[in-house]
Structure 1
Amino acid sequence: MTGRKRWSTEEILDAAAELLRTGDADSFSVRKLAAALGTDSSSLYRHFRSKTELLRAVADRILLAAMHDHRPEGDWKQRITSLALHVRDAFGRQPQLATVWGRYASSGTGSRLVMEEMLQALRASGLPDEEIPARYHRIAVLIAALIASEAGVSTVTPEEHEQGLELFRVAVLGADPERFPALAHFARDVRPLGADRRAAFEEILAAQLSAIEAAAPRG
């Protein structure tokens, strides 16, 4: 009698990533993954001790792939901006996994590579070493939040997108000027959250980096 196939760690992560592309972290389970692979959950727990550990490994592969061809260039602000956009683009190709990263983070090689590059860039900013961890944390939280937010928008179906735009138009253009005077005034210029997200991402990040630059000792 032929035994069940023994799946490698990479094959398990491939299958998990595929399930997450068509679902989300809430509906994902080790049992569903085992069924997709034609095996039982116990065989997967030999590779990962829990669902959370598995999800962290899937998210870390995205970071690892993003860092594989990343080449730091420019000054410290350019390095952090380039890194952030590189990670953003990597999760943009697999938006379902962005929420996994935002929720579960990761502690694998990909995560460490991102941390190393950002910390090196911050040291080049001139900040005292004792201030760098807190500044790093703020930037990391900002980037993760922006990427997860953008992923939520990008997974909306075309039909849902059109419905949302129509509701937005009705809510904004039809705003009562007596109750919502500012909204009525700016109604034709206010844009929905899904518009120009890359520009917003860059501007918000640039503001954070400018604050760091202003705080760094001169000379």
Structure 2
Amino acid sequence: MAGRRRWSTEEILDAAAELLRTSDTESFSVRRLAATLGTDSSSLYRHFRSKTELLRAVADRILLAAMDGYRPEGDWKQRITALALRVREAFGRQPQLAAIWGQYASGGTGSRLVVEEVLQALRTSGLPDAEIPARYHRLAVLIAALIASEAGVSTITPKEYEQGMELFRVTTFGADPERFPALAHFARDIRPLGADRRAAFEEILAAHLARIEAGIHPGRPTGS
């Protein structure tokens, strides 16, 4: 009797990514993935010690894709902005995996490449080395939160989107001006959460980078 096929790590990650596109982290399991591959869970645990380790590896592949072909250009703010947009776009193509990145993070090569570039960019900004780790952390939290938020909007069904739009219209145009005077006043100008996501992403990131820049003392040696 022929033995079961031996799946490579890359093939397992391909199958996991595909399964996650049509489900979520709550329903995803190593057992379900094994069934999809026609094998048993123990064969997958030879590659990944846990579900969390597997999910981190899947998310790291998105970061690797984002870094593929990346070349640092411009000043430190331009470098960080370009990198953040690449990561956003990579997860935008597979939004179900964005929540995994935000929840589980990643410790693979893709993650190291992203972290290295952000740290390198910050070192050219004029910030002292002592401040860079904290600045990096805040940037990472901000970017991950924005991407995960966008992913949440991107993964809803057309029916859910229409329901949300109807709720938005009721919330804004149906607001009682006596009780909610500001909401009634701005109702025609307020846009739903899913509108202009890229513009909002860039504006929020730019504001954060400007805040970092404002705290840099002119004439301070780079990386001192």
Rounded Cα–Cα distance in structure 2 between residues aligned with 1:187 and 1:65: 40
Report the equivalent of 2:112: 112
In structure 2, how many angstroms separate the alpha carbons of the residues matched to 1:163 and 1:71? 42
Deviations 1:103-146 (A, max 9, x none): 00000000000000000000111000000000000000000000
* Residue-pair matches, total: 219
Unaligned 5+ segments in structure 1 are none
Query: Residues 69-88 of structure 1 correspond to what in structure 2 (within 5 A)?
Result: 69-88=69-88
Q: CA deviation at 1:95?
A: 0.3
1:133 aligns with 2:130: no
Match of 1:23 in 2: 23
Residue aligned with 1:137, SS: helix
Which residue number corresponds to residue 209 of structure 2? 209
CA-to-aligned-CA distance 1:173-205 (integer Å, 9 cap, x gap): 010011101000100000110000100000100
Distance, in Å, in 1 between the alignment partners of 2:216 and 2:135 is 11
* TM-score w.r.t. length of structure 2: 0.97
Matched, 1:165 2:165: yes
Task: Please state how far the C-alpha of 1:72 moved relative to its aligned partner.
Answer: 1.2
Provide the TM-score with structure 1 as the length reference. 0.99
AA partner of residue 84 (structure 1): A
Output the amino acid matched with 2:52. Answer: T
Alignment correspondent of 1:145: 145
Q: CA offsets per residue over residues 21-56 of structure 1, 9 Å max, x none? A: 001111100000000000000000000000000000
The letter for the 1-side match of 2:62 is I
Give the drift of 1:171. Answer: 1.2
Give the letter aligned to residue 64 of structure 1: L
In the aligned structure 1, how far is the partner of 2:45 from the partner of 2:32? Answer: 13
Q: Distance in 2 between matches of 1:113 and 1:171?
A: 43
CA distance in 2, matches of 1:129, 1:188: 47
Provide structure 2 residue ranges, at least 5 long, that are not aligned to the other structure.
220-224
Amino acid of the residue matched to residue 198 of structure 2?
R
State the Cα RMSD in Å: 0.5
Deviations 1:125-173 (A, max 9, x none): 1000000000000000000000000000001111211111111101110
Q: Distance in 2 between matches of 1:8 and 1:113?
A: 24
Paired residue secondary structure (1:26): coil
Give the distance between the partners of 1:75 and 1:171, measured in 2 at CA.
43
SS of residue in 2 equivalent to 1:193:
coil
